[in-house]
Amino acid sequence: MDIVYDDLLEDEIVRKIQEQDGDRPEGIHVSDLLYCLDKAYYVRKLGQRELPLSTLLLFTQGRAIQDYLTGEKGDEEPILLDGVWMTVDYARGLREADVSLPWEVKMTYMSSGKEPSDGWIKQMMAYCKALGVLEYGLVRYSLMGDWSWVYKRKDRAINDEHPVLVCQRFTFTQEEIDENWAWLQDRKEVLLTALDSDMLPSMLIPDFMSGDSRWQCEKCLYRKECVVC
C-alpha cells in the first residue's frame, strides 16, 4: 500500500468550500460595524484577502453545525435596513407563525459558563430591529464545554461533557434596541466618511472599536498595513 499527500485533492476541497460561501450583497453589513471599523475600511480599500486554511476550515465547521441545527442549508435572505445589510441564521418560526424564536447559532471555543460577548448581543439587537421583534434566541455550540476537564483545579468540579448546547432567550426593551441601532448608524456614518476622505475611522473617532474587538488584531489580515495594531 502506498500513501501520499495529495495537494490536488486538497485544492479541490478548498475550492468547493469557497464556492459554497456565496456572494454577499454590496454595501455595509452589520458585521462591519460591530467590531473594528479600521478592518472594514481596509477590506474596502485593499480588497478582501484570502483566508488562511485554518480559518476557512473553522468557518466551514460553523456553517455545517448551523445547517444541521436549523435543518436548513444556508442563512435566511439578507435584509437591508437604513443602509445596513443583515443576514439572520434562523427566522422560519416567524414566517410560519411558529412558537419558535428567531435565533442565532454560534459555534465557539468559549467556555459554556461564560456570558455571551457584547458583540453577539449587539448583533441580536440589530436583528430584532430588522425583524420587528423584542425577543431573540442564542444557540451556542460550545465545543469545549466549560473547559474544566482541560484546566483541572482542586477547587472546581470537573465536567468532561463536551461539546454542549447553551440555549438562551434574550428579551430586550424597544429602547435598548433603538439605542443599539443608533450606535450602529453612527458607526456606519463614520465608516462611510472615512472611505470618502481616505482616512482611517480611528482618525475620526477615539473609540472606533467596540469593547471586545481587540482580539481581532492578532490574526488580522491587514495587520501589516494598520497603523493602530
Q: 178-211 pLDDT, tens per residue? A: 999 999 999 999 999 999 999 889 888 766 555 5
Q: Is the pLDDT of residue 84 over 60?
A: yes
Cell of 219: 490574526
140/218 Cα distance (integer angstroms): 24
Q: What is the CATH number of the domain that holds 101?
A: 3.90.320
Q: Is residue 12 part of a domain?
A: no
Given a cut of 90, whether residue 216 has pLDDT beyond it is no
Sign of the CA dihedral with 178 first, then 183, 188, and 193 last: positive
List CB contacts of 204: < 8 A, sequence separation 6 or more.
190, 193, 194
Q: Report the distance separating Cα 31 and Cα 181, nearest Å.
A: 13
Domain that holds residue 120: 26-216
- Tallying the residues shown for the chain, one arrives at 229
d(CA 141, CA 70): 12
pTM above 0.95, yes or no: no
With respect to residue 225, please indicate whether it lies within any of the assigned structural domains: no
Note whether residue 94 is domain-resident: yes
Asked if residue 200 is part of any domain, the answer here is yes
- Res 105 pLDDT > 90: yes
The 10s digit of each residue's pLDDT in 135-185 is: 999 999 999 988 888 887 777 788 888 999 999 999 999 999 999 999 999
Instruction: Decide if 67 is inside a domain.
Output: yes
Residue 31 has pLDDT above 70, yes or no: yes
Q: What is the pLDDT of residue 45?
A: 92
What are the φ and ψ backbone dihedral angles of 168, each rounded to 5 degrees?
A: -130, 150
* pLDDT tops 80 at residue 101: yes
Domain presence at residue 160: yes
* Cβ neighbours of residue 66 closer than 8 Å, sequence gap 6 or more: 89, 105, 107
Residue 104 phi/psi, 5° resolution? Answer: -110, 140
pLDDT of residue 30: 96
Q: Is residue 6 part of a domain?
A: no
Whether residue 59 is contained in a domain is answered as yes
Query: Is the Cβ–Cβ distance between 113 and 146 less than 8 Å?
Result: yes
What is the number of other CB atoms lying within 10 angstroms of the CB of residue 1? 2
SS3 for 97? coil
Q: How many domains in the chain?
A: 1
